[in-house]
């Protein structure tokens, strides 16, 4: 298939590009290096140095024989998007190209405005490029489980049937995100739904949980092909932060009570999910929402496992609670459905002790590059924690 991957320099975009190219698809990646720019501006650089996209594509082709076409361009530039979609006529587009950091989106007006503008305009341009130049193209959009928040009821996959005053209707499940970044994802979903029901686009919106891992069959070919690994407070995920803290011998920082539960998945499962979505396209006029994660953990459960596995490897690992910089429930009910992707054929890779140990060993190789000053939260949007944490 002819596939465009937007955000192809990113943590998920780059392994996805290699995965599809290795399976014989015709792949174009687009990226404007926004993440690299923000990482430099906020001193949040990735642990391992990642060659630029052009160099990685050349290296991947030299090793595997599979070509990936690279376009360094901004998805919010509609003239560029028009030219690309008109010329390439994609059958599928995977849209990862957004500013994905919740803390960054909460720094202040400029960062919030940039996140809102970038994310909504990128999605809007994908919609219009498809409408005008490739109306049959299947849009595979990365949303987030964070769109739903943590409601006190079960979370279905996107849709809920409501009975109200004796009448029934089906609606998008009510969403209540906990950051401006997550709110842009809610707005993306609404935009997509409007254009699906009005102009018959075909869209799969993947509500993804936090992804962990670096190894994929293609990224293991050469360490210069590894995806980016951030562990700082801006781009770093909880799993990456704990891995680095365990290796560096500094306590794992549990935000608040640590009862926050999320649905996680292995990077290899993201690749499977996007592949399954692409190979099982929806009909025109359908918005399919799939919850994309394989297992749930609380922060405390993850910390306990990291302590246990880290100690088995001879690391000095402890956990400690710090004031929660985020405004979020720290103990809550959480029961989201996630059968849709399993029904399509997803075979989960779970976070076993072996997988954790492998990730710790991978990070241990780069121990000398760890900068522990990048880890503690610098952005606080929980008023109650501000004074306690000393961040204003």
- Quote the least distance from Cβ 4 to ligand NAD, whole Å: 11
- Quote the least distance from Cβ 122 to ligand NAD, whole Å: 5
Residue 5 binding ligand NAD, by CB under 6 A: no
Residue 7 binding ligand NAD, by CB under 6 A: yes
- Quote the least distance from Cβ 295 to ligand NAD, whole Å: 14
Helix axes 13-22, 267-279, angle to 10 degrees: 60
Catalytic residue, chosen from 76, 185, 212, 231, is: 185
CB nearer to ligand NAD: pick between 77 and 136 = 77
- Quote the least distance from Cβ 105 to ligand NAD, whole Å: 11
**Strand bridging mode 252-255 / 68-72:** unpaired
Judged by CB under 6 A, the residue of 4, 11, 233, 374 near ligand NAD is 11
Judged by CB under 6 A, the residue of 27, 28, 31, 247 near ligand NAD is 31
CB nearer to ligand NAD: pick between 36 and 385 = 36
Q: Nearest 5°: CA angle at 104, between 31 and 338? A: 75
Give residues 361-390 in contact with ligand NAD (rule: CB under 6 A). none
Catalytic residue, chosen from 16, 76, 144, 183, is: 144
Residue 237 binding ligand NAD, by CB under 6 A: yes
Q: How far apart are CA 126 and CA 110, in angstroms?
A: 24
Does 185 participate in catalysis according to the annotation?
A: yes
Helices marked H in the chain: 13-22, 34-41, 53-64, 78-88, 102-105, 109-133, 180-199, 238-248, 267-279, 299-312, 340-344, 353-364, 383-389
Distance of CA 61 to the CA centre of its chain: 26
Site string for ligand NAD, 55-84 (x = CB under 6 A): -------------------xxx--------
CB nearer to ligand NAD: pick between 196 and 265 = 265
- Quote the least distance from Cβ 6 to ligand NAD, whole Å: 6
Q: How far apart are CA 151 and CA 147, in angstroms?
A: 11
- With CA atoms as reference, report the closest residue to 196 among 163, 172, 167: 172
Judged by CB under 6 A, the residue of 29, 97, 274, 375 near ligand NAD is 97
Q: How far apart are CA 388 and CA 391, in angstroms?
A: 8
Residue 211 binding ligand NAD, by CB under 6 A: yes
Residue 118 binding ligand NAD, by CB under 6 A: yes
CB nearer to ligand NAD: pick between 56 and 138 = 56
Identify the sign of the CA torsion 248, 253, 259, 261: negative
Burial readout 99-129 (b: 16 or more C-beta within 10 A, e: otherwise): bbbbbbbbbeeebbebbbebbbebbbbbbeb
Residue 341 binding ligand NAD, by CB under 6 A: no
Give the phi and the psi of residue 30 in degrees, each rounded to 5: -125, 135
Report the half-sphere exposure of 11 (CA within 13 A, side-chain side).
27
Judged by CB under 6 A, the residue of 5, 22, 34, 226 near ligand NAD is 34
Judged by CB under 6 A, the residue of 3, 4, 5, 10 near ligand NAD is 10
Alpha carbon distances (Å) from 93 to 16, 32, 108, 135, 288? 12, 17, 32, 12, 15
Give residues 213-232 in contact with ligand NAD (rule: CB under 6 A). 228
- With CA atoms as reference, report the closest residue to 94 among 276, 291, 338: 276
Does 181 participate in catalysis according to the annotation?
A: yes
Does 168 participate in catalysis according to the annotation?
A: no
Give the phi and the psi of residue 38 in degrees, each rounded to 5: -65, -35
Residue 247 binding ligand NAD, by CB under 6 A: no
Site residues (vs ligand NAD, CB under 6 A): 7, 9-13, 30-35, 74-76, 96-100, 118, 122, 142, 144, 208, 210-211, 228, 237
Question: Hey, which residues are catalytic here?
Answer: 144, 181, 185
């Amino acid at each position: 298939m002819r596939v465009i991957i937007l955000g192809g320099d990113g943590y998920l975009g780059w392994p996805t590009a290699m995965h599809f190219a290795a399976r014989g698809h015709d792949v174009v990646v687009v990226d404007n290096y926004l993440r690299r720019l923000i990482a430099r501006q906020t001193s949040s650089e990735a642990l391992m140095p990642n060659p630029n996209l052009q160099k990685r594509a050349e290296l991947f082709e030299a090793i595997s024989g599979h070509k990936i076409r690279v376009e360094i361009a901004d998805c919010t530039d509609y003239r560029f998007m028009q030219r690309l979609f008109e010329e390439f006529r994609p059958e599928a587009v995977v849209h990862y190209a957004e500013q994905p950091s919740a803390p960054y989106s909460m720094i202040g007006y400029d960062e919030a405005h940039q996140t809102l503008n970038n994310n909504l305009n990128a999605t809007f341009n994908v919609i219009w490029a498809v409408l005008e130049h490739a109306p049959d193209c299947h849009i595979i959009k990365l949303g987030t489980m964070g769109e739903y928040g943590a409601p006190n009821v079960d979370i279905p996959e996107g849709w809920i049937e409501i009975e109200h005053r004796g009448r029934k209707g089906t609606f998008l499940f009510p969403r209540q995100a906990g950051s401006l970044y997550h709110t842009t994802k809610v707005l993306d979903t609404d935009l997509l739904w409007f254009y699906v029901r009005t102009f018959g686009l075909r869209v799969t919106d993947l509500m993804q949980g936090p992804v962990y891992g670096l190894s994929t069959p293609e990224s293991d070919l050469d360490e210069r092909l590894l995806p980016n690994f951030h562990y700082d407070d801006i781009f770093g995920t909880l799993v990456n932060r704990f891995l680095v803290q365990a290796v560096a011998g500094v306590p794992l920082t549990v935000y608040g009570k640590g009862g926050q539960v999320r649905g996680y998945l292995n990077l290899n499962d993201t690749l499977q999910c996007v592949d399954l979505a692409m190979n099982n396209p929806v009909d025109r006029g359908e918005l399919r929402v799939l919850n994309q994660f394989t297992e749930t953990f609380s922060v405390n459960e993850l910390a306990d496992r990291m302590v246990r596995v880290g100690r088995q490897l001879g690391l000095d690992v402890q956990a400690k609670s710090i004031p929660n910089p985020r405004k979020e429930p720290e103990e809550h009910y959480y029961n989201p459905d996630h059968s849709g992707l399993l029904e399509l054929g997803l075979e989960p890779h779970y976070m076993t002790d072996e997988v954790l140990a492998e990730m710790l060993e991978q990070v241990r190789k780069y121990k000398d590059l760890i900068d522990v000053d990048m880890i503690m939260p610098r952005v606080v949007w929980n008023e109650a924690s501000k004074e306690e944490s000393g961040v204003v």
